[in-house]
Amino acid sequence: MPELPEVEAVRRIAERALRGRRIIRAHLSRRRLCAPQTPEEFTRAVAGRRFTSSERRGKNILLHFDEVTLWIHLRMTGRLYPVAGPQLRPASTSAYFLLDDGRTLVFEDPRGLGVMRAAKRDEIEDRLSGLGIDPLSKTFTADALASLARASRGAVKPFLMDQKRIAGLGNIYAAEALFRAGIDPRRKAASLSPARIGRLREAIAQVLVEAVGSAERAYQKPGAFAEGESFHPAVYGREGESCRRCGCTVRRIRQGGRSTYFCPGCQR
């Protein structure tokens, strides 16, 4: 599933395509994409709307138009990008939007799991009200992270992936941030000292900024995306290999039903 950096890359690409543009017409190829809305309700809601701004809430993309917001969740394989015209859309397109400059914004989704809704902005706000703090926002401070950690009873890795606490941070980048901060993923979140909390906050921000740049470059051509293409994980997916920092063997354990990778030599 795309993590925060990939979702942010898609948002930026969509925003550049939509800036100053108006949707002439929308077409849905997969009816359940917008359920419980009908395709007719969806396309009627967005037709003729002019784009105003965009934002990301965790792994959710919000495209704001005059009087309506388009909420998008990419799920496993969703991609959003412009092409010169509708005839160039791929076979796995679930929806496309004809723009007033002649281009087409395509929502490609090979596995057909992505979702979209067109609704008033306050309705979308209500839907997303349970999300936690965004780790790329100005409000994600060491104090904010410390407050969240103190309220946790579990290990730090699953804590970081709890979307009700920190929205958008997934398995890959949680593992990489913990490695950079030198924190054992099994350590209790509430036990972290202020110094360790500070290092962890910095590591999360650094990892995500680097990964966003990597994802955005990888998405430059339709179909060219490869997760973490120029972001080279230090521990994720490297079980049994030597740590590039200390030479210890990278380990993999299970936490909350997910694989956690870490270096027992660097992470305490």
Q: Could you tell me if residue 135 is inside a domain?
A: no
Provide the domain count of the chain: 2
Q: What is the CATH number of the domain that holds 184?
A: 1.10.8.50
Q: What are phi and psi of 161, to 5 degrees?
A: -95, 0
- Residue 228: predicted pLDDT: 47
Are residues 226 and 184 both part of a single domain?
yes
Q: Please tell me the distance from the alpha carbon of residue 58 to that of residue 8, in angstroms, as a whole number.
A: 9
Are residues 28 and 119 both part of a single domain?
yes
Domain that holds residue 184: 142-262
Q: Could you tell me if residue 48 is inside a domain?
A: yes
Are residues 68 and 114 both part of a single domain?
yes
Are residues 21 and 79 both part of a single domain?
yes
Active-site positions read 2-3, 59, 258
What averages of pLDDT result for each successive group of 10 residues across the chain (268 residues)?
88 96 96 94 97 96 97 93 95 97 96 95 92 96 98 97 95 97 98 98 96 81 52 94 97 96 98
Q: What is the CATH number of the domain that holds 16?
A: 3.20.190.10
- Residue 132: predicted pLDDT: 97
> Where among 75, 101, 127 does a domain terminate?
127
Contact 234/210 with Cβ under 8 angstroms?
A: no
> Where among 76, 103, 127 does a domain terminate?
127
- Residue 229: predicted pLDDT: 59
Contact 259/171 with Cβ under 8 angstroms?
A: yes
**pTM > 0.75:** yes
- Residue 217: predicted pLDDT: 80
